[in-house]
Amino acid sequence: MANRADVRRKLAGSRARAGLTRIGGARSTGGVTPRAAWAPLLVGETTPTTQAPPAATEGDALGLPPFGRGLALLANAVATTPWHAARWDADLGVSVKIPDQPAVLTDPDPMSTPWSYKWAATEDGVLYGNHFALFGDLDFRTLRPGWLVPIPADEVWMITDPRSPAWYQWAIGGATFDADEILHVPYGNRSGEVLGRGVLYQYAQTLGGYVAAENHAAAYFAGGALPPAVLQSPTAITQPQADDLKSKWRAMTATREPVVLPMGYVLTPVVSNAEQAQLVESRTWDAELVAMILGIPPWKLGLAGPTMTYQNVETADIDFVRDSADRYAAPLSASFTKWLTPHGTTVVWDYAARMRADQSTTASVLSTYTGAEILTIDEARAMIGRPPIATADDAGTTPAGVPELTPQEVTP
């Protein structure tokens, strides 16, 4: 386990390390790669071609409004969902929330809020497919780490030995750590592999095409949506003269000034407009593609969706929590359960409030459950955030053993 002094000492080590393996990339003999240059490495060492657009970086992906908004929806859904530790009660036959919650759940990172920790861990999972954190001091109640030091996923390197594939170490800032010194949350990995795969690993080339389309659209409209043209000279001209003529044409189209050509010059526009260039359709398809990549319902990103009644929209929200948000919440809670809580304790997300139906439906369901004696009145009240009836009735009354004052003893 590491305390804060150990963390500072280890992170202050030398940056000269050999035999490092980039996450999703090839072996390197150098030090840590800057963050800005990391994302292209996630898709492997490829030779750029004129046919394929460059792979999108993290900044490129976040600069796409549908992607940035979809990522925020996923991260917020996880960050705002409460979690707790529960233990199986053999007498009751159900898992029960333990009264003394582990500190690593109530305050995972003392330097930030639990909301911020869960948000950042979700972003790590979506973008890079992995979340990393150093273990802090032991919690004397659980004998497991009581807090964590999150590490940017794109600053972690992996050291492997070809002669022993099962052996590996982590390298951060030039310091090395054994596998049991770091919390590693893989958000989906193949059998026999350690690292998970994020969208920048799987879809960087596809997102790069989206970025290229946006850049083309921006350049198209920056020129006033004027089409390209063919300029024909009546006489032979040199290459420098042709380049000068093209530069003047580009400058004119950017300002939408009237065209004045010398005698004998012929301008032949190449007919084109925004609709024929399919810019609108292309942007819509790219936004739908991002929704597909992130697993977000298209209508949550402002795209057209099926006509729904109120109840259907509500059901779609429940599907979003179950199929989209839990895709990144479940790996995090599973890792906390295995590595950070005592044996027999499970970390559980409280989705009840998020997946609750409308008030009329909720009341009808709870009434049916209580009538059939599936739930007690107090259990049904707890599901909608109400205290037990006895507690509610006693609220504001005089505590037992304290004599009530007579009207004459009450001071006006």
The residue whose two tokens read 């599973």 is 334
Does 201 lie in the same domain as 98? Answer: yes
Strand partners, 88: 95
3-state secondary structure (DSSP) of residue 271:
coil
Sheet order of strands, 20-21 included: 27-28, 20-21, 156-161, 164-172, 175-177
Q: Which tokens hold the place of 151? A: 């590490």
Please check the confidence at residue 201 and state whether its pLDDT lies above 70: yes
**Residue among 355, 353, 284, 283 at smallest CA distance from 319:** 355
Does 267 lie in the same domain as 166? Answer: no
**Does the residue 321 lie in any domain?**
yes
Q: Which residue has the higher pLDDT, 82 or 2?
A: 82
**Does the residue 412 lie in any domain?**
no
Please check the confidence at residue 334 and state whether its pLDDT lies above 70: yes
The model's pLDDT over 84-102, given as tens digits with 9 standing for 90+, comes to 999 998 887 888 889 999 9
* pLDDT level of residue 394 (50, 70, 90 thresholds): low
Contact status, residue 231 vs residue 245, Cβ threshold 8 Å: yes
- Report how many domains make up the chain: 3
Please check the confidence at residue 408 and state whether its pLDDT lies above 70: no
Does 373 lie in the same domain as 304? Answer: no
Does 93 lie in the same domain as 5? Answer: yes
Does 293 lie in the same domain as 247? Answer: no
Does 331 lie in the same domain as 196? Answer: yes
Entry pTM: 0.69
User: Which of 211, 240, 271 corresponds to the end of one domain?
Assistant: 271
Does 362 lie in the same domain as 231? Answer: no
Does 124 lie in the same domain as 22? Answer: yes
For residues 216-221, give the mean pLDDT.
Answer: 65
Share of the chain above pLDDT 70, in %: 68
**Does the residue 334 lie in any domain?**
yes
* pLDDT level of residue 112 (50, 70, 90 thresholds): very high
Q: Which residue has the higher pLDDT, 233 or 172?
A: 172
**Does the residue 28 lie in any domain?**
yes
Give residue 32's domain range: 1-224+273-351
Name the DSSP class of 28.
Answer: E
296 membership: H or E segment, kind and range: none
Does 214 lie in the same domain as 175? Answer: yes
**Does the residue 401 lie in any domain?**
no
Length of the chain counted residue by residue: 412
Does 232 lie in the same domain as 98? Answer: no
- Average pLDDT of the chain to the nearest whole number: 76
The model's pLDDT over 161-197, given as tens digits with 9 standing for 90+, comes to 888 777 889 999 889 999 888 999 999 888 888 999 9
Contact status, residue 388 vs residue 378, Cβ threshold 8 Å: yes
Does 243 lie in the same domain as 141? Answer: no
**Does the residue 403 lie in any domain?**
no
For residues 339-361, give the mean pLDDT.
Answer: 82
Name the DSSP class of 85.
Answer: E
126 membership: H or E segment, kind and range: helix 114-128
Does 343 lie in the same domain as 279? Answer: yes
pLDDT at 273: 56
